[in-house]
Structure 1
Amino acid sequence: MPEHVSNGILEHNREAAAIWGAGGLHYDLVSFAISDALAHAAQRLNPKPGDKVLDVATGTGWSARNAARLGANVTAIDISADLIDAARLLSTGIEPPIDYHIADAENLPFPDESFDKVLSTFGVIFAGNHRRAANELARVCRKGGRLSISAWSPTGAVARFFAVIGAHTKAPPPTESPLSWGDPAHIEDLLGKEFTITFEHGTNNVYHDSVEDIWNWYIRGFGPLRTLYEGLNEGERAALKRDVDAYHAHYQVEAGLHIKREYLIVIGEKR
């Protein structure tokens, strides 16, 4: 029986849409904190004036704007209506204008080979069904086109952070870990048939004055942490904050906090 689709969003991704949208406009601060990695992915995409670019799981549109600034004609999608609203607001005045849509990475509403280049920065990795999402990326990219994806390392700082969060989560873990996209073998399995793939490692650098600063930063804008916190009782909230603060305290330097997060850039050329 076909899976139910509502407003273009597959049933198994609707809860994720609500979680990621919980930060709304404040999610742009999360993107700001990883902006060096977002720029890395956009530069490896190498958009040219007039290129038709698709940004998948755009969030508040940071990477879509990076591509548009280079002259590309950008279409950008996200499963969250709240994030798309924020992206449209933040993209006012960008030329060429960015065409934003609410849509699912596993169910892209575009014909085959619609785009010259396809981008996803720490976005498609959170799709509920990896192979379905990967097939959609390949389907909408023209032959000879380029793909650029940024994905968190499965063994780095983000993996440790997710483990801290997961210890306080009552819901079962996802069937497919988003961190698998940071494993070259997994990428080759998902995309190697359709793309010739090159990998490049990077490190995202984040700077805050204190553990309290970064806590406030992420509790406002990072939907998964915000929704988790809001669903806990007072004692559980205190325990979550204690563990998140302890995690961040390991990154203390003389000037405050310097957090280093390892990631992988996937560069694909469509066969």
Structure 2
Amino acid sequence: MSTPLDLKALKARQQAAWASGDYAVIGTTLQLVGERLAEACDLRWDEQVLDVAAGNGNATLAAARRGCQVTSTDYVPELLKRAEERTRAERLNNVVFQAADVEALPFDDRTFDAVISTFGVMFAPDQAQSAKEMIRVCRPNGRIGLANWTPQGFIGQMFKTLGRHIPPPAGALPPSRWGDEEQLHQLFGDAAGSVNVTRQHFNFRYRSAAHFIEVFRTWYGPVHKAFASLEGDAASALEKDLTQLLNDSNVAGASSLVVPSEYLEVVIRRR
């Protein structure tokens, strides 16, 4: 008989992983995704916007730059500190930062005109509860905007590679489910008046596969933790597989590394 998945323990491990390294080193390179999502959601001046699993604040900054009143949340306070530093640097005074878990948001029903997340909520352990909470705090006819890596895209394949070397807990749902349009319809169900999906690509740009791995194993929590948990030949095997994936995905030739990674840009209109 299988043991039920301990979501609380899984969340604790995830929090530790994302708090390790410094995600902002990677996250700031993804700012374009937040800007695209803000435009796709048609964010407007003075709208109340909630950014969940905000990380270092890409979508937060994009919404604030459009005059929205933004509440920026994450369950890893260390990440929010980086986002707050960025808003201060831009002299944006329309953002409030609050440590909060997307699975139990500390806000009243129907509070926000838009609820957004870029590569964030997709990593929450309880996917159904996370979707339910985003729906709950969004006003009727409001928007839920998401950027989610697809299973078949580069980042989806990178996590699949990590999973071959460090298998996830039995019963844990892969984050890449959020990058599957059919799964999104299941997650948001009848609460979604419409679900508009656009396939986009973000290009990771580094000197080489070795440079990408060096940066990610130093700063990107999940990769940092993966290498830290492996020794000797096991770590070398992971590095070899990641190098192969990167080189196979590279569209820049031998002189550099440019790896397109597919993601879904999603705008859900709440009933």
Partner residue of 2:99? 102
Residue aligning to 1:262: 262
Q: Pick which of 249-258 and 218-227 moved more.
A: 249-258
Could you say what secondary structure the match of 2:165 adopts? Answer: coil
Question: What residue number does 1:80 align with?
Answer: 76
Query: Identity across aligned pairs (percent)?
Result: 28
Query: Aligned-pair distance for 1:87?
Result: 1.9
Q: Does 1:161 align with 2:158?
A: yes
How does 1:9-48 map onto structure 2 within 5 Å? 12-24=10-22, 27-48=23-44
Distance of 1:103 and 1:10 partners within structure 2? 15
After superposition, the C-alpha distances for 1:70-114 in whole angstroms (9 at most, x for unaligned) are 111110111112112222223214423421111111000100011
Provide Cα deviations, 1:181-207, integer angstroms capped at 9, x if missing partner.
Answer: 111111111113112211111111121
| Equivalent residue pairs, number | 261
CA–CA distance in structure 2, aligned partners of residues 141 and 149 of structure 1: 14
Structure 2 letter corresponding to 1:240: L
Q: Distance in 2 between matches of 1:245 and 1:91?
A: 35
Please give the alpha-carbon distance, in whole angstroms, between the structure 2 residues aligned to 1:166 and 1:10.
20
Task: Say which SS state the counterpart of residue 167 (structure 1) adopts.
Answer: helix
- Secondary structure, aligned partner of 2:190: coil
Q: 1:217 to 1:110 in 2, by over 3 A?
A: same
**CA 1:180/1:12 → structure 2, altered by over 3 Å: closer, same or farther?**
same
Is residue 77–residue 84 contact of structure 1 (8 Å, CA) maintained in 2? yes
Q: Is the 8 A contact 1:77 1:101 kept in 2?
A: yes
Query: Which has a greater percent of helix?
Result: 2
2:3 corresponds to: none
Aligned counterpart in structure 2 of residue 206 of structure 1, from 198, 204, 207:
204
Distance in 1 (alpha carbons) for counterparts of 2:14 and 2:210? 27
The SS at the match of 2:172 is coil
Q: Secondary structure of 1:34's match?
A: helix
Q: Give the alignment's TM-score, normalised by structure 2.
A: 0.90
Any runs of at least 4 consecutive aligned residues in structure 1 with deviations exceeding 3 A, and if so which?
9-12
State which of 177, 183, 186 in structure 2 corresponds to 1:186: 183
CA distance, structure 2, for counterparts of residue 41 and residue 268 of structure 1: 12
CA shift, 1:180, in A, is: 0.8
Letter in 2 for 1:256: S
Unaligned 5+ residue runs, structure 2? Answer: 1-6
Q: Which residue of 2 aligns with 1:3?
A: none
